Copies of this chain bind each other. A is one copy, B any other.
């Protein structure tokens, strides 16, 4: 082990896997038993505390007959797990919505929690809209208050702020008063999920799912009197100061209820990190101008530093890793003229034709290029040059997806899983959601 490359996780895993009872020194066995004796005593001593009653009530309520649907499937699970699973699945393709300023994906941790409550306990679709809107608003504003320091240090901000969004949105669904909401916020502050090291693994989409579940649990128990700090966000040892070097509280409370950060939510046209989108637009632009796998010699994209930092994987080995490779995205755009979920299959990432183009692409981190902007340049084998400029990436604030584009994206995703009729029903219901008395028709259309 060197200081530069300490393999502590691997070494620890090896120790754990290899250690047997007979390897334990007698004094370790003795101290283990003393620890367990001492621990069991305090556990039993406090077993009738009010907080234990509250968690048992939770167990009884969610673990009993309450079940909610998993969208796209036929299984039914308890409402907490429903929030976890539906939240995770919606982030698996990296294709959900994005608050561009903070790179928060607000729906994944919030929508499944709200719908879990709505399906489980009832509530009108107007309640759902209201709960979602205030939850997203809170989540994004908390994100703004700590961005960029909080993100830069390595937090996956979707999980860490999403748990607030879920706790707040579900508190609203449950009709909580201000004190219960403050408690729920306190509980959320103590349960941040998500660090950026997990990008490229199943644990990344797990983050918003976990945030949805933890936020919902927080709201439920806070409503039954489970106490927490009432200054969970702003206290000296609260969320903002512990998890960020920057904290600007006016981002949360200034213009609250007057201006809506939710209106800055954007939808991805491509199922990968939003920072690659202008590059994909640019590469598709080159293709339209006649650049092909056969005539291209090299491609250089002039990009914002985050493109390199987040998506600089040179040789992705799996489809999932392809989402973190701007080079694969350019290769796929030139070869196939499309960058959809299909282009992120393992087969596509290993496709010889795509790899051949991929290895001719490069990026140049360029001062002054915005995150939603890209300039690209191809040198062709005949010595000529083709350029393309993307001022605003499709799906950005200044070039948002139209309703028709959003419907097309929805159909691409839903029809292969649930078929035409379900997709049509869902678009119809969601576009006119405020008119639904409850979410029954919605859940029916969303599940098998």
Contacts and interface: CB of A to CB of B under 8 A. Distances in A.
Contacts of A426: 37, 40
A102 interface: no
A106 B192 CA distance: 21
Nearest to A17: B178
B186 A203 contact: yes
A9 B234 CA distance: 7
Nearest to A126: B21
Copies in the complex: 2
Interface residues of A: mostly helix, strand, loop or mixed? helix
Interface in A160-205: 168, 171-172, 176-179, 181-182, 185-187, 189-198, 201-203, 205
A91 B49 CA distance: 11
A409 B41 contact: yes
Contact of A202 (B51, B253, B406): B51
Interface in A74-116: 75, 77-78, 81, 84-86, 88-93, 95-97, 106-108, 111-112
A438 interface: no
A229 B13 CA distance: 13
Contacts of A410: 37-38, 40-41
A237 B195 contact: yes
Contact of A130 (B20, B44, B78, B257): B20
Interface string A52-84: 101110110001000000111101011001001
Max chain B C-beta neighbours (<10 A), residue from A28, A417, A446: A28
Contacts of A138: 12, 15-16
Contact of A256 (B12, B192, B202, B446): B12
Contacts of A70: 47, 52, 56
